[in-house]
């Protein structure tokens, strides 16, 4: 009898302990899913743009009827027509550019013949053909007004993004003036003097000398070097980010999409803006005859374009232009059309630039009225951007900033 009472007591005790544990687990589960889930969602939102992946594009609806308030010029360095086709073969679906409603071919030659990135950027920015290695100057070495200067003269904010060093040829041609593209220190001085609102890329080697740091501080820039610091930037002061000693690739962070996202956040406002975004390493991997590396860079660029077009959907008055400065690698499309045949054998120019036409894609504000021909020259892109901004903001005095 005593044994039965003891057993009953122990059974009741175990039942109470079990019920208490279940209640505690339920409380714990409710507590841990309410707070950490929100934190997890927030973290995922912040870091998703740094994941290297193909985005699935389903089309975009940008308003073409608004006046041009903002211009976003996106440049795939070395991105010829055939690498676009090869990227779609590997992706297995259309790139974001395929959903942009207007396109044409663009001639790229410079006064030196087959262009380099410096002469091409000068043509895209200033509207003049010049010699290779020249930045923001004509064939005589005289400074010509850049698109950043043109925009700033009309009160717009400006931004430049690339994954090479900040003063590299393409971003440099949007603002600086120099007879030699390799003068990185002098070019960076000019970019700072021009007061570009946002500059993001690599090149800490040039930005972190004592004299340059003093120049950056005197100009009022917030200087950052990490992806974490990028997330902390807020409107109000100009920002200069150098996230690598030299350059960085699609495998590194921050991604091109993250930099683009933050730049759009910082630049958006009543005054309008001009932003140039360059995928710098398409050209570099093509020059190295590395198709795998090239396709990673195409993947990163496609994702940044998709983000930009979706942003523009929500911001009427934005004109998005996507083009290339030149073609690199003499890329061919495999006859089989199979992904496994998109490999290093598709390069035919030993990694050199070629004089092949590239494509210009346009979407958003006034894009249908601006792209009306089957082929234009790269200098025409500078002219159509100027026309769009003049139509909205009017004329302004020429604004050339020399170093």
| Residue positions annotated with a catalytic role | 117
Q: Are 163 and 201 in contact (CB under 8 A)?
A: yes
- Specify the DSSP class assigned to residue 72: E
DSSP summary character for residue 181: T
Please give the Cα distance from 346 to 313 (Å, whole number).
Answer: 36
Q: State both tokens at 373.
A: 């021909």
Q: Which two tokens stand for residue 305?
A: 């374009």
- DSSP output for 93-144: S--GGGGSSEEEEEE--BTTBS--HHHHHHHHHHS----TT-BSB-TTS-B-
Nearest to 310 by CA among 345, 241, 261: 261
Q: Measured at the alpha carbon of residue 83, what is the angle toward residues 79 and 84, in degrees to the nearest 5?
A: 85
Q: DSSP assignment, residue 153?
A: T
Nearest to 234 by CA among 269, 188, 201, 203: 269
Task: Return the sign of the alpha-carbon dihedral for residues 25, 28, 32, 35.
Answer: positive
Secondary structure (3-state) at 4: helix
């Amino acid at each position: 009898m005593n044994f039965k009472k003891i057993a009953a007591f122990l059974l009741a005790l175990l039942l109470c302990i079990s019920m208490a544990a279940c209640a505690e687990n339920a409380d714990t589960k409710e507590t841990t899913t309410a707070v950490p889930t929100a934190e997890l969602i927030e973290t995922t939102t912040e870091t998703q743009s740094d994941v290297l992946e193909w985005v699935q594009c389903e089309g975009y609806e940008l308003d073409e009827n608004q006046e041009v308030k903002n211009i976003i010029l996106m440049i795939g360095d070395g991105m010829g027509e055939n690498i676009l086709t090869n990227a779609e073969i590997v992706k297995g679906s259309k790139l974001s550019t395929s959903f942009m409603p207007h396109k044409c071919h663009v001639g790229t030659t410079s006064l030196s013949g087959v262009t380099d990135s410096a002469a091409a950027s000068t043509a895209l920015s200033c509207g003049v053909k010049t010699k290779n290695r020249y930045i923001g100057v004509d064939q005589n070495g005289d400074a010509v007004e850049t698109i950043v200067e043109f925009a700033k003269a009309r009160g717009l904010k400006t931004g430049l993004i690339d994954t090479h060093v900040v003063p590299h040829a393409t971003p440099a041609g949007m603002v600086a003036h120099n007879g030699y593209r390799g003068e990185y220190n002098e070019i960076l001085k000019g970019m700072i003097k021009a007061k570009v609102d946002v500059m993001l890329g690599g090149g800490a080697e040039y930005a972190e000398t004592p004299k340059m740091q003093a120049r950056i501080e005197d100009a009022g820039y917030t200087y950052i070097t990490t992806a974490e610091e990028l997330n902390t930037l807020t409107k109000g002061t100009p920002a200069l980010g150098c996230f690598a000693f030299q350059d960085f690739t699609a495998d590194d962070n921050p991604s091109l999409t993250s930099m683009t996202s933050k730049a759009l956040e910082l630049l958006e406002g009543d005054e309008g803006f001009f932003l140039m975004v360059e995928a710098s390493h398409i050209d570099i991997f093509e020059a190295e005859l590395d198709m795998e590396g090239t396709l990673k860079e195409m993947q990163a660029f496609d994702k940044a374009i998709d983000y930009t077009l979706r942003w523009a959907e929500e911001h009427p008055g934005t004109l998005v232009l996507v083009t290339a400065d030149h073609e690199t690698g003499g890329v061919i499309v495999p006859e089989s059309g199979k992904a496994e045949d998109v490999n290093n054998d598709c390069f035919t120019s030993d990694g050199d630039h070629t004089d092949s036409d590239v494509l210009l894609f346009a979407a958003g504000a006034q894009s249908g009225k601006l792209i009306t021909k089957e082929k234009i020259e790269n200098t025409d892109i500078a002219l159509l951007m100027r026309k769009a901004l003049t139509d909205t903001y009017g004329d302004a005095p020429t604004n050339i900033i020399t170093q």
